[in-house]
């Protein structure tokens, strides 16, 4: 066994798209055009409005915030929930108190395998 790091101190700050208090730590990139990372948004953090380049899944593991896509109003999201965005879909993630999420992006991501939508 090996223990490995993915804490914020080895991540890189994200400033694009008006983002603030946002750090992404890469975990894995692989064949089939996928990548896995850990996103940390500090208090008042924003991962600014941008277009998804591929299928994207944001899995919140700690904290809470809001997510939105297109012209939709922001929706709350908490630990144990995930947001899925299709390729080309514009989206944003914000938090007042802080949020940690795993972010999986992959051309081969099949939403039918994981989507169990929350009731609106």
Domains in the chain, start-ordered, CATH in brackets? Answer: 9-101 (2.60.120.10)
Q: Regarding beta strands 75-78 and 90-94, do their DSSP bridges make them parallel or antiparallel, or are they unpaired? A: unpaired
pLDDT computed for residue 30 by the predictor: 76
- Go through the chain and tell me how many residues it has: 120
pLDDT computed for residue 108 by the predictor: 84
Residue found by looking up tokens 């603030």 in the block? 20
Instruction: Report yes or no: 51 and 32 within 8 Å, Cβ to Cβ.
Output: no
The pTM (predicted TM-score) of the whole model is 0.89
What's the pLDDT tens digit per position in 86-100? 999 999 999 999 999
pLDDT computed for residue 120 by the predictor: 45
Sequence-ordered strand ranges (E) for the chain: 12-13, 20-30, 34-51, 55-69, 75-78, 82-85, 90-94, 99-106
Residue found by looking up tokens 């929350």 in the block? 118
Q: In which residue ranges of the chain is pLDDT below 50?
A: 120
- Cross-strand pairs, 76: 66
pLDDT computed for residue 34 by the predictor: 83
């Amino acid at each position: 066994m090996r223990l490995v790091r993915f804490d914020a101190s080895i991540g890189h700050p994200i400033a694009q798209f008006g983002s603030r208090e946002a750090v992404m730590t890469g975990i894995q990139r692989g064949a089939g055009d996928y990548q896995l990372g850990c996103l940390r948004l500090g208090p008042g953090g924003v991962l600014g409005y941008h277009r998804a380049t591929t299928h994207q899944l944001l899995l919140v593991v700690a904290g809470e915030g809001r997510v939105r896509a297109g012209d939709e109003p922001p929706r709350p999201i908490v630990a144990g929930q995930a947001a899925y965005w299709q390729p080309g879909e514009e989206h944003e993630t914000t938090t007042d108190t802080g949020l940690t999420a795993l972010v999986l992006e992959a051309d081969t991501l099949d939403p039918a395998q994981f989507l169990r939508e929350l009731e609106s």
